A = this chain, B = another copy of it.
């Protein structure tokens, strides 16, 4: 990592100190962002690198918040802006970085417009597919005490109105297989850059093969 970004890196590390998972993810997204940037034109690394390092700084605050009103992409953009202001970044740079952070999230209403925002979005999504995507999905699922599948209860969930767009609303009743079917599968169609689309192919092949084999091994037809 270039010397000039170390200060940002240390700030992120201090904010995310309680979550090694988050920090590991941030470093992977940083690396994938640089990989994608190599094949794209006119990328400003002084926008992309701080955005990649700072994109999840509000993750801890989001998960600590019980009201459900904190969106880490929105709050993270504000926190990043405040931090960078104290580090002599220009207003123009700060606005561009805030846009990247705000637009990195799937569900947010802010879509990536600049090339740096598109690269960060794609890098973040690539880390949710492939072997690493499978691993993150399953580890999170274990953390919430979920079962591999609740397919035998799906009819009942639907009857009780706790299914929304194929997803189970109660986190403890949600499952990694439902996560794959309703969300992870669709990631490649959402990507912006050509190199991310290319990188997604091998990753999706492994992920599809993994989940289809899993369903076969546990004898489930969904």
Contacts and interface: CB of A to CB of B under 8 A. Distances in A.
A31 B213 CA distance: 16
Q: Which of A24, A148, A203 has the most CB of B within 10 A?
A: A148
A70 interface: no
A142 B145 CA distance: 9
Contacts of A155: none
Contacts of A47: none
Nearest to A150: B20
Contacts of A135: 138, 148, 176, 214
Contact of A138 (B138, B147, B219): B138
A218 interface: yes
A217 interface: yes
Contacts of A203: 217
A130 B206 contact: no
A214 to B, nearest CB: 4
A153 to B, nearest CB: 10
Contacts of A143: 142-143, 145
Interface in A204-221: 206, 209-211, 213-214, 217-219
Nearest to A211: B131
Given A20-B147, A139-B141, A142-B139, A134 B134 contact: yes
A219 to B, nearest CB: 7
A91 to B, nearest CB: 35
Interface of A: 20-21, 24, 28, 31, 130-132, 134-135, 138-143, 145-148, 176, 203, 206, 209-211, 213-214, 217-219
9 contacts: A28-B218, A131-B214, A135-B214, A139-B139, A141-B142, A142-B142, A206-B209, A206-B210, A210-B210
Going nearest first, the 4 A-B pairs with the smallest beta carbon separation are A142-B142, A139-B142, A138-B138, A131-B214
